């Protein structure tokens, strides 16, 4: 056997070993990530006494949907679910419009002070508009009379639209401008080019931003919590789960909290499964060129 053949065989053996080790690590991480969710799913079908006495057991001895019924009907989750839907839909719609339009215009240098705007937006990413500015934003919303679901939507969008705009800009910079130029030659105006030509081409990255916006809005706790302290009827699902901690007659109603948490998780999983094939494509293509 020649030395070259031996080297190739050794390289392939090392490559197979590395692949096996990689798969073992990835499978282990996946199991550790999914195990709490699987446990919570089965625990949500246990009555409280069994959950407290045999909490370490994975499968329930007595299957019951009573926790879901109590959470949905008595815990007010019907209203909270609709509030979450309205907030998530509003955030996705507003963020979609802002990120797609401004990101496209920045990528094509259609704004007079585009570079200055990009610098301001970049500084916002470093400074952050999180906890430190939440109370001032709440006071502004209160002064404007929108300390309600509309205010929650606008405040949440203000915290996420910057990064989504940069993702869209990076993606649009990878697209050839010839189609847009041809549309302008045919008499299409700027907004028409955006709507008819660029928007369909931005589908992968916009699907990514939709998933990210929906996930952030659906799971957001801090902003809805601050806005609904004095108005419990406007709570979202996440805040409603937290309210179960002290809102019931039973001390620490873990069975209700777990059932409520599962109600929160399911829509996120469904949305991701429906749109996952576009998600990675949008993330990778949007990161090609900054």
**pLDDT tens per residue, range 274-287:** 877 766 665 555 54
The answer to whether residue 119 sits within a structural domain is yes
Closest C-alpha among 78, 68, 80, 82 to residue 260: 68
Q: Give a yes or no: residue 131 inside a domain.
A: yes
Q: How many CA atoms lie within 13 A of 218 on its CB side?
A: 22
Please state, in angstroms and rounded to a whole number, the distance separating the CA atoms of residues 37 and 52.
Answer: 18
Residues 227-236: tens digit of each pLDDT: 998 888 899 9
Query: Residue 19: how many CB atoms within 10 A of its CB?
Result: 10
Same domain, 138 and 219: yes
- Which run of H or of E encompasses 158? helix 149-172
Residues 113 and 229 in one domain: yes
Residue 230 lies in a domain: yes
**Model pLDDT, residue 4:** 59
- Residues 241 and 130 placed together within one structural domain of the fold: yes
Residues 87 and 154 in one domain: yes
Sign of CA dihedral 9, 13, 18, 19: positive
DSSP track, 61-76 = SS---HHHHIIIIIS-
Tell me the per-residue pLDDT of 231-266, one tens digit each, with 9 for 90 and over: 888 999 999 988 887 655 545 788 888 888 898 988
Residue 68 within any structural domain of the chain? no
Q: What's the pLDDT at 290?
A: 40
- Answer yes or no: do 29 and 131 share one domain: no
Same domain flag for 184 and 220: yes
Output the 3-class SS for 1-41: CCHHHHHHHHHHHHHHHHHHHHHHHHHHHHHHHHHHHHHHH
Q: Is the pLDDT confidence value at 49 over 80?
A: yes
CATH code: domain of residue 145: 1.10.3720.10
Q: Give the Cβ contact number of residue 223 at 10 Å.
A: 23
Considering its fold, how many domains does the chain have in total?
2
* Dihedral over alpha carbons 145, 148, 153, 154 (to 10 degrees): 20
Domain ranges, residue 138: 76-247
User: 102 and 38: one domain?
Assistant: no
Region of 230 on the Ramachandran plot (φ > 0 left; ψ -120 to 50 alpha; else beta): alpha
Indicate whether 60 belongs to any domain.
no
């Amino acid at each position: 056997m020649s030395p070259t053949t031996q080297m190739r065989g050794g390289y392939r053996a090392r490559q197979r070993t590395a692949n096996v080790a990689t798969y073992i690590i990835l499978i282990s991480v996946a199991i550790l990530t999914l195990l709490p969710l699987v446990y919570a799913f089965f625990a949500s079908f246990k009555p409280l006494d069994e959950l407290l006495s045999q909490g370490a057991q994975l499968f329930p001895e007595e299957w019951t949907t009573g926790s879901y019924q109590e959470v949905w009907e008595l815990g007010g989750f019907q209203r909270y679910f609709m509030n979450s839907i309205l907030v998530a839909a509003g955030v996705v719609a507003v963020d979609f419009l802002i990120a797609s339009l401004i990101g496209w215009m920045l990528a094509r240098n259609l704004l007079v002070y585009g570079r200055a705007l990009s610098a301001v937006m970049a500084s916002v990413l470093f400074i952050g508009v999180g906890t430190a500015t939440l109370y001032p934003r709440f006071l502004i919303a209160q002064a404007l009379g929108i300390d309600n679901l509309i205010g929650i939507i606008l405040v949440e969008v203000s915290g996420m639209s910057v990064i989504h705009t940069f993702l869209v800009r990076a993606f649009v910079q990878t697209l050839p401008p010839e189609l847009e130029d041809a549309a302008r030659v045919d008499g299409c105006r700027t907004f028409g080019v955006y709507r008819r030509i660029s928007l369909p081409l931005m589908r992968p990255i916009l699907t990514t931003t939709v998933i990210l916006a929906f996930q952030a809005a659906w799971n957001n706790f801090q902003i809805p919590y601050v806005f609904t302290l004095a108005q419990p009827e406007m709570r979202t699902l996440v805040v409603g789960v937290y309210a179960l901690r002290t809102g019931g007659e039973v001390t620490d109603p873990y069975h209700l909290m777990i059932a409520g948490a599962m109600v929160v998780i399911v829509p996120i999983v469904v949305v991701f499964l429906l749109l996952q094939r576009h998600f990675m494509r949008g993330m990778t293509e949007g990161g090609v060129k900054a």
